[in-house]
Amino acid sequence: MSEPLLIVRDLVKHFPQYEQRILTKRQTGSVRAVDGVNLDVMAGETVGLVGESGCGKSTTARLILRLIEATSGSVIFDGVDVLNADDEALRRLRRQMQIVFQDPYASLNPRLSVREIVGEGLRIWGETADFDKRVGDLLDRVGLNRRFLDRYPHEFSGGQRQRLGIARALAVRPKLLVLDEPVSALDVSVQAQVLNLLVDLRDEFDLTMIFIAHDLSVVRQICDRVAVMYLGRIVELGDRDGIYTRSTHPYTQALMSAVPVPDPVHERERERIPLEGDPPSPLNPPSGCRFHPRCFKAETICRTEDPPLIERVGGHECACHFPEVSNVT
């Protein structure tokens, strides 16, 4: 088997918390946003990162791109050590790894024209030959009219802005595209348009994708493999059908059973695994398995021993002492 395009090992990000007094400031603890993530991404595949707010999925993506600095761990992209790359190496890496953000309103500079937004990467790399034609071709490619070059972001709808964000990311021909909740701000009919566009572009540009979403239905539609995160860790990792039809971690099962299915007959027969309360604070995560305070199968060992993410049953990796295969969709 070939080498993965991206290798993430023991990735950790702790955000220190301070107590501010009038003159003094002292650290009171740290939010363990990402706490030991391991992930391999093969060239050409789309990996979904799913989980609820605060599970660390967006922070993981930002660490991989080195948009924020990791506390520890390593990220190897195409043989290059991302976390220890110097400025010049990082500049070259950024061309290979691009991101599309969730909020199509906040992520485009309102004072720049479409030409400047989409063409910025080309300009940075000095690729200004046939500039307007190249930017126009990109607009065409994402389904926008190439005559829009001189327009500004406020003239576009949410779905169109998200297309602009995608065109901007693709301008420099990256190998890896990170998509952080790319369709969650869009209405259903527009969401389908953007998801279809991403599938087309993935084939056309040979993209490897990391797709972050809280919407498990969207992830099932677009991803080859799925990593389920809880409190800064991956708790279950496997190919799409394995995760959706043979999930083994009780958190994955509870999460999926909570998603309502748009079919009233099926929906009202489905069994739900209720979860009590909210996820615990990443400031002070529970001992042992982090999910044990909310887990319906927790036993003594779960309170003391942290289960590693290894292959157990069902043909994929799971971090649980008592995994059982179940289809909850």
Partner 1 sequence: MSAAQSDGGGAPLLRVDDLRATYDTEGGVVRAVDGVSFELRHGEVLAIVGESGSGKTATSLALLDLLPKHIGKVVGGSAEFDGIDLTKLSAADMRAVRGARIAMIFQDALTALNPVHKVGKQISEMIRAHQRVPRSQAWERAVDLLEMVGIPNPRERASNYVHEFSGGMRQRAMIAMAIALEPEILIADEPTTALDVTVQAQVLDVLLGLRERLGMSIILITHDLGVVARAADRVMVMYGGRKIEEQTTEGLFANPQHPYTKGLLRSMPRLDSVIGDRLTQIPGAPPSLVNPSEACRFAPRCDFARPICDEQYPAQVSIGSGSQVACHAAGDPTWETNT
Three-state SS for 69? coil
Contact 250, 259 (CB under 8 A): no
CA atoms within 13 A on the CB side of 277: 9
What percent of the residues of the chain are helix, what percent strand, and what percent coil, each to the nearest 5?
35, 25, 40
Q: Is 215 a binder of partner 1 (CB under 8 A)? A: yes
**The tokens of 40 are what?**
């391999």
* Rounded-to-integer distance, Cα 179 and Cα 101, Å: 6
Among 26, 274, 300, 310, binds partner 1 (CB under 8 A): 274
Q: Is 140 a binder of partner 1 (CB under 8 A)? A: no
Give the nearest distance from C-beta 112 to partner 1 in angstroms.
23
Compare residues 259 and 325 and give the one whose CB is closer to partner 1. 259
In the block, tokens 């993410």 appear at 309
Among 218, 229, 234, 298, binds partner 1 (CB under 8 A): 218
Among 19, 81, 137, 263, binds partner 1 (CB under 8 A): 263
Compare residues 223 and 318 and give the one whose CB is closer to partner 1. 223
Sequence-distant (6+) residues with CB within 8 A of 94 are 65
**Rg of the chain over CA atoms, in angstroms?**
21
Give the nearest distance from C-beta 187 to partner 1 in angstroms.
4
Q: Which stretch binds partner 1 (CB under 8 A): 2-10, 56-64, 257-265, 312-320?
A: 257-265
Q: Is 264 a binder of partner 1 (CB under 8 A)? A: yes
Q: How many residues bind partner 1 (CB under 8 A)?
A: 44
In the block, tokens 């693709």 appear at 170
Interaction pattern, residues 20-39, with partner 1; x per rule: CB under 8 A:
--------------------
Three-state SS for 52? coil
Interface ranges with partner 1 (CB under 8 A): 52-53, 157, 159, 187-193, 195-196, 199, 214-218, 220-222, 240, 244, 254-256, 258-268, 272, 274-275, 277-278, 329
